[in-house]
Amino acid sequence: MCFKNLPVEFDAQGNAHLKGGVVDPFAYQPREIKRDKLEELLARNGHIKDVSISPVTRVAGALSFHAVADLQERKFLEANSVATIFRGYEVILKGRDARDAIYISSRACGVCGGVHSTAACEAIEMAFGISPPPLGTVLRNLALSLDFLYDHPLHLFLLAGPDYSQVVVEATTPAMWEKAKVTEAPHADVHDYKTIGDIMKSLNPLSGKCYLDGLKMTRVPREAYAVLFGKYPHPQTVVPGGMSSTVTITDFNETYTRLQKMMDWTKRMILLWDDLTEFFYEYNPEYKKVGARDKNMIDLGMWDDPDSYDASYARCNEWGEARWATPGVVIDGNLVTTKLQQLNLGLEEFVEHSYYENWNQNGNVRYKTDPSGAPLSPNHPWNKETMPKPSKESWKDRYTWSTAPRWDRQVVEAGAYARIWTTAAAGLMPKNQFLESTGHSLKIHMPKTMLREMDFEWKIPQVWNAFERNRARAYCMGYNLMVAYTMVLKAFDFLRKGEDKVSTKFEVPQGERVGVGFWGAGRGYLSHHLVLDKGAIVNYQIVTPSTFNASPKDPFGNPGPYEEAVLNTPILEDFDKPSDFTGVDMLRAIRSFDPCMPCTTHIYGGEREIVREVNTCACSAEG
């Protein structure tokens, strides 16, 4: 039984139906947020302080964060995640030709627009009843692996990485810096950094070798992306039924060369993050609590098997489980499903603490079942309407433009780490020579380049925190690289056999259709839900990884993942007086979820003065 909260059960054949005897099966009673006691403590103006990270954003999407910290007890008492900008792609897309969604939704992100194009394409393919030829699917997989090979280094070395650099560690925990300088790095023979202090120096922004190499390394996958798909990050070559690129063996050779270039750097990088993580744990085991939260996560999987993917909802469980990243939901560390239909049925969005009207007020529900007849919640994206309702910020009431997506009414987080976790736990990865899912780990075999051939194994961690998110992200670099490598080899095979078709002809259907793109971004889960009529979009709903991660409290009183991670974070930095407090532990927790688009934010101390500038994630509310 995969659901424990939703009133849906499955028979022996796997068919879903509503539990009997429940009058209003999806109804719920929202819980009130009470903070009278907290307000009283804050009013005393003692060691309980308001801490706000407030954004100055120059692009669509921004996150700000409000917390209440007890600086004496060194813990956080309240956390509120705030998406400050309404974007409204769902509103923009209404009434347009379905194919416009590919190009318009791409603009939802300035880093990885291609993931939105592809999710839109898969939703359209489901609605149109078409799918790409095998080489089209391989090309699409390759595009999205290259995309992430750009994305991962950004996170690891340019956005999250500086939190572990010498300049930050020395300023916030000087004793740790002294220890790092004299602690040998266990994998120095591979990554060439003799001590942990050397690794930290290499993470220094603007001057550190890892920072600069990370910047340079982003160029390599982008070049390959441009060779195959014309341009990055908003490709015009993603089309329903495949890709519109004309590709030759030369293009794949050029891609192959670039993947080779990334191989050694990736081997070094994985071990570097291993060394860094273990050092923090050893220095102070309390670091295992930074960004900690329940092992609850979700991923839709991605990288379709060219022989299985047919875009149909009826067969989504089969082609989903054949993916190179296995779909799944993990609850309390256990994989509870790998079936895309169950992932879809369990999804609901709530807006009690968001700046939206509830679309269910009149009781009209567009779809009571999914296309296979399984019960669908009125809070499901196929039933949702985006109805913005700006109002005053209130921590007790509404405070964000992000909705609260939940799965089976439980708080789940999304990320590249969720992708590697569900894949490792499921043991369903297609058989190949470079990657193996063992049920408790993912083995990555990387061939010899300048460095020797090496085997890595990402093991499902015992603890779940900021460090494990970053470490998993480093392993995801190897995982992605070997998926890309395999896809190039598959492309060679198809071309050798003369199977060079990359797209399928189609006609736009005129009747009412639904579709969903079950896909992933560099930072995890991505779904596009679509309703069409006469070829035009009637409803379009995007749920991004940051919609999950940056979500506010839900009507059941559960905080969103950022909020929960901060509430569980101990304050470990050194400071004598409140004005010296930098919030670095909280920032490590938030950034480990993967900063997306930039917003320069300012953290305010008790005196409400700017004490630190940070970059953090903003790819959130409403796509």
Partner 1 sequence: MSLQSAIRNPQSAIGKVLVSGIGYSNMSDLSFGRVLYGEMVGMSWPEHVHVEDLNFGPVMIYQWFEESPVKYDKVVLVSAANRGRAPGTLEVYAWDGKLPDEAGIQACIGEAITGVLSLENLLIVCKHFGVLPDDVTIIEIEPQKEDYGLKFSPVVAARVGEAIDLVKVEVMKAKRG
The residues of the shown chain that bind partner 1, judged by CB under 8 A, are: 58-59, 109-111, 154, 158-159, 162, 205-206, 215-216, 218-219, 222, 233, 595-598, 600, 613, 615
Q: Which is nearer to partner 1, 168 or 329 (CB)?
A: 168
Distance from the Cα of residue 453 to its chain's centroid: 30
Cα–Cα dist 267/273, whole Å: 11
Q: Which is nearer to partner 1, 222 or 289 (CB)?
A: 222
> Measured from the CB of residue 279, what is the shortest distance to partner 1 in angstroms?
24
> Measured from the CB of residue 299, what is the shortest distance to partner 1 in angstroms?
22
Exposed/middle/buried for residue 471 (C-beta within 10 Å: 0-12, 13-18, 19+) = buried
Q: How many CB atoms lie within 10 A of CB 361?
A: 8
Cα–Cα dist 50/583, whole Å: 12
> Measured from the CB of residue 612, what is the shortest distance to partner 1 in angstroms?
9
Q: Which helix (H) or strand (E) holds 435?
A: strand 435-437
Cα–Cα dist 566/589, whole Å: 6
Q: Which is nearer to partner 1, 94 or 443 (CB)?
A: 94
> Measured from the CB of residue 151, what is the shortest distance to partner 1 in angstroms?
10
Cα–Cα dist 259/269, whole Å: 15
Q: How many CB atoms lie within 10 A of CB 315?
A: 15
> Measured from the CB of residue 300, what is the shortest distance to partner 1 in angstroms?
23
Specify whether the CB–CB gap between 338 and 325 falls below 8 A: no
Q: Which is nearer to partner 1, 216 or 459 (CB)?
A: 216
Q: Which is nearer to partner 1, 94 or 445 (CB)?
A: 94
> Measured from the CB of residue 438, what is the shortest distance to partner 1 in angstroms?
35
Q: Which is nearer to partner 1, 228 or 597 (CB)?
A: 597
Exposed/middle/buried for residue 512 (C-beta within 10 Å: 0-12, 13-18, 19+) = exposed
> Measured from the CB of residue 205, what is the shortest distance to partner 1 in angstroms?
5
Long-range contacts (CB closer than 8 Å, 24 or more residues apart) made by 452-456: 454/190, 454/267, 456/267, 456/270
> Measured from the CB of residue 619, what is the shortest distance to partner 1 in angstroms?
9
Q: How many CB atoms lie within 10 A of CB 373?
A: 11
What order of strands is seen across the sheet that includes strand 297-299?
297-299, 328-331, 334-337
Q: Which is nearer to partner 1, 62 or 259 (CB)?
A: 62
> Measured from the CB of residue 219, what is the shortest distance to partner 1 in angstroms?
5
E-strand stretches of 13-96: 16-18, 48-57, 63-70, 75-83
Q: Which is nearer to partner 1, 110 or 578 (CB)?
A: 110
Write the DSSP string, 371-414.
Answer: TTS-B--TTSTTT----B------TTS--BS--EEEETTB--B-
Q: Which is nearer to partner 1, 376 or 617 (CB)?
A: 617
Exposed/middle/buried for residue 431 (C-beta within 10 Å: 0-12, 13-18, 19+) = exposed
